[in-house]
Amino acid sequence: MQEAPPLWTLAGTNPSAPALVDARGSLSWLELEARTNQLAHGIESLGLVPGDHIVLSASNRREFIESLLAGMRAGMVVTPVKTGWRAEELAYVLQDADTRLVITDGDVARETADGQAVPVLDLDQGVGTSSGKSIEQGFSQSFDQGFEDWLSGQDEAPLPHDRCGVRMSYTSGTTGRPKGVMRAMDVARPFAEAFAASSQFARILEVPSFGPHLNVSALFHGAPLAFSLSLLAAGAPMHILGRWDAELALEALADGIHSTCMVPTMFRQILSLPEDVRARFSAPALNCVLHGGEPCPQPLKHEMLSWWGPILTEYYGMTEGGMTVANAREWLERPGTVGRSTRGMSVEIRSPEGEKLSAGSAGVIYFRNPAGRTFRYRNEPEKTEDAYLDEGAFTVGDIGFLDDEGYLFISGRKADLIVSGGVNIYPAEIEDLLHGLPEVADACVTSEPDEIRGESVVACLVLAPAAAAEQTAAVARIEAACEQRLAGYKRPRRFLLRTEVPRDGTGKLLRHQLRQEIWGDRSPFAR
């Protein structure tokens, strides 16, 4: 059977060169090859077979990348998830994806896996045997040996070349709870071929691949992770910042880093540092800063360009596959653009009825792929159909327009979506929780301006009659329920108590009215 080539061969680099660097040190490509092969064989030893699903919930450390690569090299489907998820949120994905293994270094993931009777590979404690008890009955996994001891006992032999492992992201897509995005291209190629081909992202984004790339975001974030892996596949060593901190990020960028990826919230935090800290910053090797994930107001971007120079490249895209890119020169010539489409796709602007609109007219943004339908949502055929206009054009519901040269401008998005610090939040999920509480008679969730994160979650509530008599205590119980069952970034930062929430004559929630009341003319898309 043909063996998969070593990673350094795929990346076109030297086996002794650094591949992964974090606060604890670095791994060479030779070491990364050995450890990912060992980890892949170890995953198989736990009873998994190609095609099985793995959830990866881990902090920013080298082992995150090792686990992701190992799972895919073994032919598994690997889903990185947010480490801030609560048990209920994580349990949903474990059940929806029929997860066979959780790789983690966090308590919530350990306990949730135990409650779902899913084995755990703990990056600190080793292999855990599930008790099969519910979370309420108590977490009781046992770890017989440490992770490194367990790993050292695994085979280093190369995996077969035909293993087609993939990274499957969960996204809320157009609405609602997360859905697994299954892309046709992912399941059709052996991992070795897909890994080598992913280096094309570096060329599309015009990111230099001859120097180190710093990952400052949480590694589970889709776009920064994809770009980091692309540059790794092109031979650029990946440096991993343990956690986001504006001042620590500046120090790391000044240490010979050539590229990084940020969201505008990070720009705001860097710009708010004391003047003496900013004045000390010098990063002559830094020549590309990718940014996206949320709207970047023109004044903010101009301020960053004035400080760092024309090294900012903006992207707009989604897990389903569409992407546009605008380098600094293009943006300065057309302030506010998110660029033109890439990777052989085209962008179309359509009316709500599906009519193609001319340049300058705002409508729903569709990406058209000449290959036809290239993705589906796992277990969600109806939502897959809703995403497609026809066999080749799909949307996630954002609103924008094209200029005469095909440059895209985002003018809005579907009213439900909240983007806080570059992270998508869907009000329907929060409203489901609120409507299930005895204190709540009705609820409507939207957002309000946030100087640091762009926008934050606000819940408009109608209290149940019994709760209305004790408002303070009722709101405290609602806040406690949100804290227990929602990840931190999803929790309402403010509760508005009303006698009713906006609905039309049929009872349909009019979220846009509440949003307009709160925002006025301060839309995050104001350019």
pLDDT in tens, 253-301: 999 999 999 988 899 899 989 999 999 999 999 999 999 987 787 888 9
What tens digit of pLDDT does each residue of 230-245 get? 999 999 999 999 999 9
| Mean pLDDT, range 365-376, rounded to an integer | 87
The answer as to whether 524 is a domain residue is no
Check whether residue 111 and residue 213 sit in a common domain.
Answer: no
| pLDDT computed for residue 133 by the predictor | 46
pLDDT, position 353: 82
| pLDDT score for 299 | 83
Residue 526 lies in a domain: no
Of 173, 208, 226, the residue that ends a domain is 173
Q: Do residues 164 and 237 share a domain?
A: no
Residue 248: pLDDT band (50, 70, 90) is very high
- pLDDT tens-digit map of 457-514: 999 999 999 999 899 999 999 999 999 999 999 999 999 999 998 876 656 677 878 8
Instruction: Let me know whether 169 and 61 are in one domain.
Output: yes
Q: How many domains does the chain have?
A: 3
Which residues lie below 8 Å from residue 513, measured CB to CB, with a gap of 6+?
A: 502
Are 40 and 143 found together in one domain? yes
159 and 58 in a common domain: yes
Q: Which of 357, 382, 412 is the last residue of a domain?
A: 412
Count CA atoms within 13 Å of residue 213 on its CB side. 29
Per-residue pLDDT tens digits for 63-73? 999 999 999 99
372 occurs within a structural domain: yes
238 and 115, same structural domain?
no
Q: Which domain holds residue 225?
A: 200-412
- Do 283 and 406 lie in one domain? The reply is yes
What pLDDT is attached to residue 129? Answer: 64
The answer to whether position 180 is within a domain reads no
137: pLDDT strictly greater than 60? no
Three-class DSSP category at 75? coil
Q: Say if residue 208 is in the same domain as residue 317.
A: yes
Tokens standing for 465? 């009659």
Residues 257 and 380 in one domain: yes
Among 173, 208, 224, identify where a domain stops: 173
Question: Does residue 164 sit within a domain?
Answer: yes
Q: Give residue 326's pLDDT.
A: 96
Q: Work out the pLDDT band at 521, boundaries 50, 70, 90.
A: confident
Are 100 and 21 in a shared domain? yes
10 Cβ partners below 8 Å, 6+ apart?
A: 192, 195, 196, 233
Query: Do β-strands 363-368 and 393-394 pair in parallel, antiparallel, or remain unpaired?
Result: antiparallel
In the prediction, which pLDDT does 348 show?
94
Find the CATH number of the domain harbouring 478: 3.30.300.30
Residues 6+ apart with CB under 8 A from 256: 211, 212, 285
Same domain, 423 and 489: yes
Is 45 part of any domain?
yes
CATH number of the domain residue 379 falls in: 3.40.50.12780
Say whether pLDDT at 376 is over 60: yes
Together in a domain, 405 and 427: no
The per-residue pLDDT for range 158-216, each reduced to its tens digit, is 999 999 999 999 986 444 578 888 887 677 789 999 999 999 888 888 888 789 999 99
**78 bridge partner residues:** 54, 167
Residue 189 falls inside a structural domain: no
- pTM to 2 decimal places: 0.83
